[in-house]
Amino acid sequence: MQQKFISDKIAIIGIGLIGASIALAIKHKKLPYRVGLYDHNPAVRNEARQLSIGDEICEELAEAVAGAGLVILAVPVGAMAAVMQAIAPHIEDGAVITDTGSTKRSVIRDTKDLVPEQCHFIPGHPLAGTEFSGPAAGFAALFKGRYWLVMPNGADPEKVEALEELLTRLGAMTEQMTADYHDRVLAITSHLPHLIAYTIVGTAVDLEQDMKNDVIRFSASGFRDFTRIAASDPTMWRDVFLNNDEAVLEMMQRFSEDLTYLQRAIRWQEGDKLFDLFSRTRDIRRSIIDAGQD
């Protein structure tokens, strides 16, 4: 693989599911990079060290990014500005910086005045994950066959190509899009489903004790799926909703209108409308399976 970064060192800031999985994928694929990792939580750093994730677990943020040709910010979107401000004095001129956050307009907005002038900031978002978090949740195959969305953000095309080449080597499929479009698409495919899951599980929590116990004992597959989604990292998802509020509220309004339509169909026993909707939604599931994203 041709080296298009200024060095063979990759710095990963944040050793959660995504950060750990990137490091493990680089190691598993035997890619020609040295990986330095940092997390603000000492317990997480110790856990990552015990699991032998990466080549070096750094005790200082500056140490992690020093000499790196690529810096990956795998932290909650609400922390992006503070992390960028902290690492900016220590990043090498010409380095590529990317992130893995679930919102893109907010990340660009919060960091645009903090990125060193000689660096190349290329926002990104891997559409991969589980409900688990922390270094132990990471695994090398997380990105296999999954999309990794890339926002060129006016960066040098050669640097964008270098980043996409690396992501492809990790097993991902890359696709470029604008930050605005990304946030609207993810609002309906990821953010709103999580919000619905949190709401439904929250409703179950508020039920009277006897019924709550029976909901847990007799959980059908649908509710179990919701609890899996609702078990996701609360810090990350709090930041997602606060930073993609406009797009999420738009999709919530559409969902609310569709829910009202369903309420009327059930109340008036309009089975044809229910059958038509359920048939159309089943086709979406088939399309996801055909695309290999199930």
Containing domain of residue 79, as a range?
9-177
Q: Quick one: 114 and 258 in the same domain?
A: no
Domain-located, residue 1: no
Q: Span 169-187, mean pLDDT?
A: 97
Tell me: pLDDT of 92 over 80: yes
CATH code of the domain covering residue 201? 1.10.3660.10
Rg of the chain over all Cα atoms, to the nearest angstrom:
21
Domain-located, residue 3: no
Q: Span 160-182, mean pLDDT?
A: 97
User: Can you give the pLDDT at residue 1?
Assistant: 46
Question: Among 154, 177, 200, which residue terminates a domain?
Answer: 177
Helix axes 245-267, 234-243, angle to 10 degrees: 90
Residue 194 CB neighbours (<10 A): 19
Q: Quick one: 121 and 189 in the same domain?
A: no
Write out pLDDT tens, residues 183-197: 999 999 999 999 999
User: Which pTM was predicted?
Assistant: 0.90
Q: Quick one: 104 and 31 in the same domain?
A: yes
* Integer angstrom CA distances of residue 214 from 96, 217, 225: 52, 5, 17
Residue 220 CB neighbours (<10 A): 8
Nearest to 150 by CA among 172, 116, 125, 115: 125
Q: Quick one: 136 and 259 in the same domain?
A: no
Question: Among 177, 200, 235, which residue terminates a domain?
Answer: 177
- With a CB cutoff of 8 Å and minimum separation 6, the contacts of 236 are 76, 77, 102, 133
* Residue 5: both structure tokens together: 């970064």
pLDDT-derived band at 19 (thresholds 50, 70, 90) equals: very high
Q: What is the mean pLDDT of the chain?
A: 93
Nearest to 106 by CA among 71, 134, 81: 81
Q: Quick one: 188 and 155 in the same domain?
A: no
pLDDT-derived band at 206 (thresholds 50, 70, 90) equals: confident
Domain-located, residue 102: yes
* 3 state SS of 262: helix
Q: Quick one: 118 and 227 in the same domain?
A: no
Tell me: pLDDT of 170 over 80: yes
Distance CA 182, CA 168 (A): 19
Residue 117 CB neighbours (<10 A): 5
Number of domains in the chain: 2
Tell me: pLDDT of 205 over 90: no
Domain-located, residue 272: yes
Q: Quick one: 142 and 187 in the same domain?
A: no
Q: Quick one: 143 and 253 in the same domain?
A: no
Domain-located, residue 4: no
Tell me: pLDDT of 2 over 70: no
Amino acid identity at 194: H
Write out pLDDT tens, residues 128-142: 988 888 999 999 999
Which of 140-149, 267-276, 281-290 shows the lowest mean pLDDT across its residues? 281-290
Q: Quick one: 252 and 158 in the same domain?
A: no
Write out pLDDT tens, residues 52-61: 999 999 999 9
**Percent of the chain whose predicted confidence (pLDDT) is above 90:** 78
Write out pLDDT tens, residues 33-67: 999 999 999 999 999 999 999 999 999 999 999 99
Q: Quick one: 185 and 169 in the same domain?
A: no
Q: Quick one: 43 and 97 in the same domain?
A: yes
Domain-located, residue 105: yes
Distance CA 227, CA 198 (A): 8
Q: Span 207-233, mean pLDDT?
A: 84
Distance CA 150, CA 207 (A): 43
CATH code of the domain covering residue 162? 3.40.50.720
Residue in the structure block whose two tokens are 């005790």:
59
Write out pLDDT tens, residues 140-162: 999 999 999 999 999 999 999 99
Q: Span 155-178, mean pLDDT?
A: 96
pLDDT-derived band at 3 (thresholds 50, 70, 90) equals: low
Tell me: pLDDT of 80 over 60: yes
Distance CA 1, CA 96 (A): 17
* 3 state SS of 98: strand
Q: Quick one: 277 and 165 in the same domain?
A: no
Tell me: pLDDT of 97 over 50: yes
Question: Among 114, 142, 177, which residue terminates a domain?
Answer: 177
Q: Span 208-227, mean pLDDT?
A: 82
Domain-located, residue 286: yes
